[in-house]
Structure 1
Amino acid sequence: MTNLGPWHTEDFEALSWHDVHVHGFRFASFNKDNGSAELVLDLDYILKWESSADQCLFTLCRAELTFHDVFGLKLDVDYATPKAGMCPFMIDGIHREALEFPTGFKSFRWHIALSWPEGSLRFEAPAFTQALIGTPVVKAGIQSLTSQERDETA
């Protein structure tokens, strides 16, 4: 990917979050009037996948993916059933469904499917932004940043 963002809702089709690791999430900017908040995911975003005969190279960068005016959040992340040790969870993909309400308000129903451990995040939000934090790093065979690499980019 040559575009280093920031990215917005209209860029959704050009982005992929497959195998992206999520190190944390938080709520921000609470809107008491409509009961919504921003949902911020702290990611190791994969900007580029390259493969050769003997190795795969991944260009990674810490990023924040922020969904705006989130409502109706359902989290389902199961570390207990596979007896998984605590680690960042990994996104399989992000899907969305367009919504239009009788008032004319437009939004999306989002489904973030997880591949490890099993689970998902589901919610409604009209928009998102994603911004890189720091400088991209090229890694051989590894799709996530170490704690030290993440700290260096903060």
Structure 2
Amino acid sequence: MHAESGLEKATWTDADFEVMGWHDCRVHAVSIGIRDDGFPWSRVLLDLDYIVRWVDPAYGRRHFSFWITPATLVFDEAWDITGQLDPMNDLLEIADLHRLAPPDDKPDPLWHVEGQNFDLRLRAPAFTQYLRKSPILSTKAQYLTQTERGGLGFAERSFS
């Protein structure tokens, strides 16, 4: 799919959870709303810069490089959504995404998006993550500029 970055596919799901990682992924926007088809469940969408691969520093260098792509992370049929924003001295960045066992007799796992300056928890049966553009090599930061990423977006289609 994208040999330079090692990316094998552009659409990921909760079935891929164990091989994915969101550490240091910048969140640019969050949407919480209902589906267009009138289905009664909520949807939670995150517009983020997904780090496809961390590249070790070249010999004699101290800093990593990163293969990054704009992505839409979608939790359909979301419920029991809670969150917190801390005082904003910096932008939102994910520390980790946790899939926790259900705390009750309902089957849906508890998803915990643990972040720098924010915390989001929700129940949903699954997620889908769409990588919207080919990965870009960044040698300066762990996020893309608005120009590099094509602005904000929640498109639910992957690049081909």
Cα 1:31–1:124 shift into 2, 3 Å: farther
Aligned to 1:61: 69
TM-score where L is the length of structure 2: 0.80
Aligned to 1:97: 100
Moved more, 144-153 or 44-53: 144-153
> Deviation of residue 96 (structure 1)?
1.3
- Answer whether contact 2:12 2:129 (CA < 8 A) is retained: yes
- Answer whether contact 1:30 1:38 (CA < 8 A) is retained: no
Match for residue 41 of structure 1 among 46, 52, 55: 46
Q: Which residues of structure 2 form unaligned runs of 5+? A: 1-5, 154-160
> Deviation of residue 106 (structure 1)?
2.4
Matches within 5 A, 1:119-134: 119-134=118-133
Distance 1:148 1:125 in 2: 32
Structure 2 letter corresponding to 1:138: L
Aligned to 1:142: 141
Distance 1:26 1:125 in 2: 15
Larger strand percent: 1
> Deviation of residue 32 (structure 1)?
6.3
User: Counterpart of 2:132 in 1: which secondary structure?
Assistant: strand
Distance 2:152 2:138 in 1: 15
* 2:114 is aligned with 1:113: yes
- Answer whether contact 1:27 1:38 (CA < 8 A) is retained: yes
Length, aligned pairs only: 144
TM-score where L is the length of structure 1: 0.82
* 2:29 is aligned with 1:5: no
Same amino acid, percent of matched pairs? 29
* 2:77 is aligned with 1:77: no
> Deviation of residue 95 (structure 1)?
0.6
Runs of 4+ in 1 over 6 A off after TM superposition: 30-33
